[in-house]
Amino acid sequence: MDITTTIPTVGAETARASLVARVENLTKSYGAHGARVDALREVTLGIRRGEFTAIMGPSGSGKSTLMHIMAGLDSSSSGRVWLGDTEIGGLGDEQLTLLRRRRIGFVFQAFNLVPTLDVEGNLLLPFELDGRTPSAREREWIDELETVLGLDPRLTHRPHELSGGQQQRVAIARALVTRPELVFADEPTGNLDSRTGREVLQVLQTATRSYGQSIAMVTHDPIAASFADRVVFLADGRVVADRTQMDASEIASFMLSIEQVA
């Protein structure tokens, strides 16, 4: 047996198994010729399972474009994208819709709750959209989320009767109810004051630390990124740094250095 070729292969497979999502040589360009914008340039990145990853970068660095392509909301110009073992680039629209519905959770800056549904109705929406009711085990999980996120007294309230922080908690609970492989959070604290924002970030951190939820959060806020286990920095469509556990001041100075170069 040729041991020199066997060992690295096993190592690479193990490393890939620990990734919940990955992209390889991803590029995305908008427009053509003189008006062309290269939003992503040959990005290769893996999101590790069970980690809270922040994707940071100045405005226009490509954060949202990367998130949208990883979540199957947009297509790439070239390169490959996987969620687990599924290569997203090979999927049709219907398969992509199912993948997003069943395997990915989303939390947006604007909460995106359905205004006509109460909290319980919003939490059950992912099941409703999938044409099914939660199993007994899923019902237990929903009950646990409602309690942990402090939503029990609010279940019959509609979004307009809730504070911004409460609405974002509902949105996070809704993203977690189906136990998705990966939750994408897009500036989840962008509409919140700093104290409420920190509480929401703690909720996301708890989802990872207590429940092993993989989360990828796009942000330009150093304080938000400091709650993450890992911070990936983008500048001008490229990954320029990939660090673990940085505090907010380290992140802020690193951002400043990127912005000065850009």
Ligand X SMILES: Nc1ncnc2c1ncn2[C@@H]1O[C@H](COP(=O)(O)OP(=O)(O)OP(=O)(O)O)[C@@H](O)[C@H]1O
Q: Which residues bind ligand X (CB under 6 A)?
A: 30-31, 37, 39, 57, 59-65, 220
Find the shortest distance in angstroms from Cβ 237 to ligand X. 7
Look up residue 92 and give its amino acid.
G
Cα 262 from Cα 259, distance rounded (Å): 5
Of residues 41 and 48, the one with the C-beta less far from ligand X: 41
Cα(11)–Cα(6) distance, integer angstroms: 9
For the bound state, the minimum distance from the C-beta of residue 86 to ligand X, rounded and expressed in Å, comes to: 23
Least spacing, CB of residue 226 vs ligand X, in Å = 18
**Helix runs in the chain, H state only:** 3-17, 63-70, 93-103, 119-129, 136-148, 164-176, 194-211, 222-226, 248-261
Nearer to ligand X, 111 or 127 (CB): 111
Question: Contact, 227 vs 205, CB < 8 A?
Answer: yes
Closest CB 75 distance from ligand X, rounded Å: 12
Considering beta carbons, is residue 63 or 154 the nearer one to ligand X? 63
Rounded to 5, what percent of the chain is helix, strand, coil? 45, 25, 30
Tell me how far, at minimum, the Cβ of 68 lies from ligand X, in Å: 8
Nearer to ligand X, 135 or 257 (CB): 257
DSSP 3-state of 212: coil
Residues 200 and 51: their CA atoms lie apart, in Å, by: 17
Closest to 27 measured CA to CA, from 11, 36, 15, 38: 38
Q: Which is nearer to ligand X, 146 or 187 (CB)?
A: 187
Minimum distance, C-beta of residue 162 to ligand X, in the bound complex (Å)? 26
- The residue (of 56 and 162) whose beta carbon lies closer to ligand X is 56
